[in-house]
Amino acid sequence: MTRIKGANVLVTGGANGIGKLMGERCLLEGAANVVLWDINEENLQKTTQEFNKKGYRNVHPYIVDVASPDDIEKTGTEVLLDVGNIDILFNNAGIVAGKKRFWEHNRKDIEKTMSINANGVMHVARVFLPDMLKQGHGHIINIASVAGIINNINMSVYVASKWACLGWSESLRLELEEEMGDFHVTSVTPSYIDTGMFKGVKAPLLFPLVQPEEAVDKIIDAVKKNKIFVRLPDTVGLVPILKGVLPARTFDFVAKVLGVTKSMDSFQGRPKDEMIPEKGKKVSK
pLDDT at site 270: 64
What is the Cα–Cα distance from 194 to 213, expressed in whole angstroms?
10
DSSP for 62-124? EE--TT-HHHHHHHHHHHHHHT---SEEEE--------SSGGG--HHHHHHHHIIIIIIHHHH
Handedness of CA 44, 45, 48, 54 (dihedral sign): negative
Residue pLDDT, tens place only, 149-182: 999 999 999 999 999 999 999 999 999 999 999 9
158 is catalytic: yes
Is 3.40.50.720 the CATH classification of the domain at 8-262? Answer: yes
> What is the full per-residue pLDDT of the chain (285 aa) written as tens digits?
899 999 999 999 999 999 999 999 999 999 999 999 999 999 999 999 999 999 999 999 999 999 999 999 999 999 999 999 999 999 999 999 877 899 999 999 999 999 999 999 999 999 999 999 999 999 999 999 999 999 999 999 999 999 999 999 999 999 999 999 999 999 999 998 988 787 777 888 888 889 999 999 999 999 999 999 999 999 999 999 999 999 999 999 999 999 998 888 777 776 554 434 444 456 655
Residue type at position 206: L
Structural domain boundaries of the chain?
Answer: 8-262
- 207 in Cβ contact with 235 (< 8 Å): yes
* Per annotation, catalytic residue among 56, 62, 158, 192: 158
